[in-house]
Amino acid sequence: MVTARGVAGCVLLAFALGCAAYRIAGQVESGRRALLVNDPERALPYFSEAAKNDPNYVYVSDRFRETVWTYLGRSQYATQRYAEARQSLERALALDRDDHLARLYLGLTLTRLGDTANGVKEIEAAMKGIYDWLDYMERSRPFEAYWDPAREIRKTIEKDLAGDPPAREVGRDQLIADAEWLGKRMEDEVEYVRRDRRREFEGDMEWRRGRGLGVGIGIGF
């Protein structure tokens, strides 16, 4: 038989878990805000604390997914903590093999650590994964062109991956520069999509309010 004390305990536990989840989400969002303004030093402690509190945390926004270890690894990469970044990014990929930004930054990290061949391989695989994901989002939502609507991201990837690897015109330094641009651009894209969806929602709510007013006036007369 369930006692009142047992019910109260369950309620308190659920409340505590909810508060913890809310706190972790806030830490990740604070870290993201710092990354978006190119301040990885400020982002680093937020992601480090979030990863410690919930090592399985995944940030999700409109089907875009990124593990907390990816965010931590990106911050470590940007602050030149390359050995730590490698560990974090490998852990991210162990959680989700399709975390393309984790693979992108792992490739960048490997190049900084001197493993250029494997680094370039990971960068190119990540670029292809991001390209395919953006194409999938476009095909699956033909009337909602939120992600990369001008194909700026995909055009850059097409340029970088054009031709067979030995004959590619893009040199290693340009590939690395484009990969760093791509990592930041994808995070910016998340914000653009969130903004566009919010505007669409607000516009829809405004239309509904106007429609309701029109119906009310019609009934009044």
Query: What is the rounded CA–CA span in Å between residue 82 and residue 14?
Result: 39
Structure confidence at residue 121 (pLDDT): 97
pLDDT score recorded for residue 16: 41
96: helix, strand or coil: coil
Note the pLDDT of residue 198: 77
Q: Cα–Cα distance between 137 and 132 in angstroms, integer?
A: 9
Quick one: pLDDT at residue 3?
60
Query: How high is the pLDDT of residue 13?
Result: 41
Query: CA angle 55-95-29, nearest 5°?
Result: 50
pLDDT of residue 219: 47
pLDDT, tens only, 144-155:
778 999 999 999
- Residue 29 is which amino acid? E
d(C-alpha 150, C-alpha 182), whole Å: 15
| Number of CB atoms found within 10 A of residue 90's CB | 14
DSSP annotation of 66:
E
**Helical H segments across 37-115, by residue range:** 40-53, 68-78, 82-95, 100-112
The H-assigned helical ranges of the chain are: 4-36, 40-53, 68-78, 82-95, 100-112, 116-140, 152-161, 172-220
- pLDDT single digits (tens) 47-91: 999 999 999 999 998 889 999 999 999 999 999 999 999 999 999
pLDDT at 205: 53
User: What pLDDT shows up at residue 97?
Assistant: 95
Mean pLDDT, consecutive 10-residue segments, the chain of 221 residues?
Answer: 52 45 88 96 98 96 93 98 99 97 99 97 98 95 84 97 66 94 97 85 56 52 35
Q: At what angle do helices 68-78 and 4-36 cross, to 10 degrees?
A: 30
Q: What are the chain's domains?
A: 19-197 (1.25.40.10)
